[in-house]
Structure 1
Amino acid sequence: MNAAARFFCADAARLRDDPLAGTAPYGSTWVLIEYRGGWPPNGFDGLSLEPVTKQRVFTAAHAVRARILLIRRHGRRTTAGPARWAVLRHREDGAHRQTWGTWQRDEDLAGIADALEAVDAPGEEAAPPVVLVCAHGLHDACCAVRGRPVGRALSERWPDLVWECTHVGGDRFAANVVVAPDGVYYGNLDAASAVTAVEEHLADRVHADHLRGYTNLFPAQQVAVAALLRRYGPAGRYHYDVEETSRDGDRWRVRLTSRTPRSSPYDRYEVEVRSHRTPPRQLTCRGLSMSSTVAYEVLSIAVAPH
């Protein structure tokens, strides 16, 4: 296949105008492992680690539905000292906890399982968020082609906050950026828009443009929040609180409360959302099979009665 005929999933998604909102995968815990060698196509699963330790980390992560990501500084910039690992947690009340450690031997990664299994969920609460840029080229070409320029731009601006990472989901929305443990996914980014999105996020102003969703919400709820951000303008990560969600067939009603009114004029809203399944299509650069997805559209936004 010549270069002109090569398929890029992110190009195809933009031509189809695939909707971003409602595509953030659910989750509230992230495991980060700094790995300075080459990343296997399947990330952590493909690493040749001491088997007992690897299985213990996998089991502990699976028990809390944590996503395991390999991380590195942009350009594989080597830092002094041992590699790092982290467990990042997001709670429903907005509280965050981060536990960081280091590893030189495979067995040192058992500290991840200890942190995940601890009853009191240890970790620092005041640490700044971690900005993750998917740049996993062996998993999907678009993640490298679009992700690495974004990783470079963000790393130049916030060198201590930004890491490149393995697959975060939604290859066709590359470049993808995840802010954790805030649990916010951004997509369809380039270098300039990524700097703007992260700058605004760090100032607690989330915009609808480039927002895929909040990972503590389900797709219809993510779409409802994005609809309010689009109508009333940027707002804080916890400005809107989902109060109630009901479903009737392919229609959803999401009631939201405005916790700290800044830009939206009312304190309660009801957003009606409709879901539909798309025709089968190629969703990744490497995937040869055709798959359909569930997409959502906003039917109405109304002020909800008290």
Structure 2
Amino acid sequence: MSTCTSASRHLDEPMAGTAATARTWLLIEQPGPWGAKALTSSHLDPTLGRALEAAAQGTGVRIALIRRPGRHADCGTPAERHIYAAHTAPGNPWLHGAMARDPELLLGLDFAALGKGDPQSFDEALRARPHKEEPLALVCTNGKRDRCCALLGRPLAAELAASGVNGAWEVTHLGGHRFSPTVLVLPNGYAYG
């Protein structure tokens, strides 16, 4: 059985230029299964997912769902979620985090300002206290987008977590999955395949 990753390695395809191009990321914790279009096919309310997609369109903000590495039973909705916003512009990277009971608060964000590197609406909407967050290591594990992400990404995410990386998360989609496992490190925006 040939997978996109093994075919890409066999063809010796170059990785350069395949990484995600978003300068600002909005990450929402959502455990449980994810579909190919995770914002509208997971335990996140699909109406909220569509509204977030519409709010972010054209702003330079990319939204993704995250979950802790490990088994993912169909466990429903968490009482509180980790929410992160990260801006990766050279010379001005930042990462802000908060906990939220109601992800609909995210609709109050100024997505255009976030996309330009201004975290003020994030901090106000989520009552976040600006503080230094540990870097995040996001490993693409969404097998509904590409099975290589699940087959190769989930063990890598688990290994990162087991090695003590506190900021290790599984993420819904990064792009470049033919080079999976793919990893994005925030806030600096380094992408690895």
TM-score class, shorter: 0.7 to 0.9
CA contact (8 A) 2:39 2:50 kept: no
Which ranges in structure 1 are unaligned for 5 or more consecutive residues?
A: 1-5, 188-306
Aligned to 2:65: 70
Q: Is the 8 A contact 1:151 1:163 kept in 2?
A: yes
Counterpart Cα distance in 1 of 2:26 and 2:173:
13
Structure 2 residues not aligned, in runs of 5+:
124-129
Residue of structure 1 aligned with 2:106, choices 84, 96, 112: 112
Q: In the alignment, is the contact (CA less than 8 A) between 1:40 and 1:138 conserved in 2?
A: yes
The more displaced of 13-22 and 111-120 is: 111-120
Rounded to whole Å, the distance in 2 between the matches of 1:149 and 1:169 is: 18
Q: What is the rounded CA distance, in whole Å, between the counterparts of 1:7 and 1:66 in structure 2?
A: 34
Task: Tell me the alpha carbon deviations over residues 193-224 of structure 1, each in whole angstroms, 9 at most, x when there is no partner.
Answer: xxxxxxxxxxxxxxxxxxxxxxxxxxxxxxxx
Counterpart-to-counterpart distance in 2, 1:43 and 1:154: 23
- The higher relative CO (CA closer than 8 Å, separation ≥ 6) is in 2
Question: Counterpart of 1:93?
Answer: 91
2:166 and 2:110 map into 1 onto residues whose CA distance is: 24
Deviation at 1:50, TM superposition (A): 5.9
Name the aligned partner's letter for residue 152 of structure 2: R
Contact 2:84-2:95 within 8 A present in 1 as well? no
Tell which deviates more after alignment, 83-92 or 23-32. 83-92
Equivalent position SS for 2:16: coil
Whole-Å Cα distance in 2 between the matches of residues 61 and 101 of structure 1?
A: 20
Paired residue for 2:45? 49
| Alpha-carbon separation, structure 2, partners of 1:54 and 1:44 | 5
C-alpha distance in 2 between matches for 1:76 and 1:32 = 20
TM-score normalised according to structure 1 size? 0.52
Deviation string 1:74-126 (CA, Å, 9 cap, x unpaired) is: 11478x852222222233423314142323xxxx2232233444855225352
Higher strand share: 1
Given that 1:61 and 1:113 are in contact with CA atoms closer than 8 Å, whether structure 2 keeps it comes out as no
1:1-306 correspondence runs (5 A): 6-47=1-42, 49=45, 51=47, 53-76=48-71, 82-103=80-101, 108-117=102-111, 119=113, 120-122=118-120, 123=123, 124=130, 126-187=132-193
Provide the rounded CA distance (Å) in 2 between the counterparts of 1:138 and 1:41. Answer: 5
1:59 corresponds to which letter in structure 2? A
Change (3 A) 1:172 1:50: closer
Deviation above 3 Å: which 4+ runs of structure 1? 53-56, 115-120
CA–CA distance in 2 between the matches of 1:94 and 1:175?
A: 27
| Structure 1 residue matching 2:139: 3-state secondary structure | strand
What secondary structure is seen at the aligned counterpart in 2 of 1:45?
coil
CA RMSD, aligned part only? 2.4
TM-score with structure 2 length normalisation? 0.80
Distance in 2 (CA, whole Å) between partners of 1:165 and 1:110 is 20
How many residues in Structure 1 have an aligned counterpart in Structure 2?
Answer: 176
Task: Name which one, 1 or 2, has greater alpha-carbon Rg.
Answer: 1
Inter-CA distance 64–92: structure 2 relative to 1 (3 Å threshold):
farther
Deviation of the 1:45 alpha carbon: 3.0
Provide the secondary structure at the position in 1 that maps to 2:104.
helix
SS class of match (1:54): helix
Identity percentage of aligned residues: 32
**Shift in Å at residue 23 of structure 1?**
1.6
Q: CA–CA distance in 2 between the matches of 1:155 and 1:40?
A: 23
Contact 2:90 2:188 in 1 (8 A): no
